[in-house]
Amino acid sequence: MSKIMLAPMEGVVDANMRDLLTGVGGIDTCVTEFIRVTSQKLPVHDLLKKVPELARSGATDSGVPVIVQFLGSDPDMLAYHSIEAAKLGAKGIDLNFGCPSKTVNKHRGGAVLLDEPETIYNIIKTVRDQLSADIPLSAKMRLGNKDKTLALENASAIESAGASSLVVHARTKLEGYRAPAHWQWIRKIKDSIAIPVIANGEVWSVYDYHKCREVSGCDDVMIGRGLLADPSLALLIKHSVKVQELSGDGSSTEALEKEAALAHTWHDTLLLLEKYYQRVQMQLPPPYVSGRLKQWLNMMRKHNHNAQDLFDKVKKITDLDELTSLLISEKANAASQR
């Protein structure tokens, strides 16, 4: 069966979020938020702090493997940290050539390197040569920095340097996260290289997933914002694939009815939000806690009217006791409507 990967999202998909989303089901692999590599060696405790799953056999509590992503432009330092992560139990290493952050790009990291295919080749070749052969080495790229001129050249450099697979975010850095994602360009890349290509960008629904696979020609898909908007999306996708295999018609009424029956209720989502909120309280100083909950609700609200209603209620609340009481009340109301 095709695989679904949880995308890395800086400042959002941390170990806490990875654990909660993989616990819902349907996700096959996670990639961590990027770990910035400079000229300084990170101590082991820093790696474990950023990727606590390394202390648990390199997987989330639900057993989903976690790939460690690094970002930088120093080949030897990237190789060093990749080796250290592998020693700690990383299931795989990923190199980031897609981050659009101005700060990151200013320091020659992320998508800006897509203007330098030779540099990308040298980075991956150095890491691959120094990393144990049994550790998969993947890369993630956008279609380019300012345009798509070098898309195929970059993909070829990544393959020839020894990467085992490639995730393609179907937009340039300049296009940011604006729709549409250019899935047809992923097909061009897939047709030009032999290593597996994973499609990424603008998958918000079961329909989007199947359309993305059809247009891109990819078996596997990476999803980020879509899974934050609907934590049950991967589970629904897996169910739809099974229905397709059984009936030959993934858009049948029967399939849609089964998908609807499988979907998480708003009460289930509130349980996730509550658990997330409780964990964040243990991780962050009080002034930052409410912001994290609002951040997730903000990602949900465009696709969930219940999340919109709750966001409207919490957006001006900063007192944690008041926020806790509101969540308890919302959960009780949702439970009574099930």
Q: Which residues are catalytic?
A: 99
DSSP single-letter state for residue 115: G
The burial class, CB within 10 Å (0-12 / 13-18 / 19+), for 196 is: middle
8 Å CB contact between 94 and 138: yes
Tell me the β-bridge partners of 36: 71
How many CA atoms, within 13 angstroms, populate the side-chain half-sphere of residue 53?
28
User: How far apart (Å, rounded) are the C-alpha atoms in residues 12 and 20?
Assistant: 12
DSSP string computed for 289-319: HHHHHHHHHHHHTTT-HHHHHHHHHHTT---
Tokens describing residue 242: 């099974």
Angle CA(159)–CA(11)–CA(4) in degrees, nearest 5? Answer: 45
Please report the sign of the dihedral spanned by the C-alpha atoms of residue 100, residue 102, residue 108, residue 112. Answer: positive
User: How far apart (Å, rounded) are the C-alpha atoms in residues 280 and 295?
Assistant: 12
Tokens describing residue 56: 């648990």
Strands 197-200 and 29-31, by their bridges, are unpaired
CB atoms within 10 A of CB 321: 8
**What is the b/e burial string over 280-304, where b = at least 16 CB atoms within 10 angstroms of the residue's CB?**
bbeeeeeeebbebbbebbebbbebb
Non-local (6+) Cβ contacts of 207 within 8 A are: none
Please report the sign of the dihedral spanned by the C-alpha atoms of residue 128, residue 130, residue 144, residue 4. Answer: positive
Please report, as a single letter, which amino acid is at residue 92. Answer: G
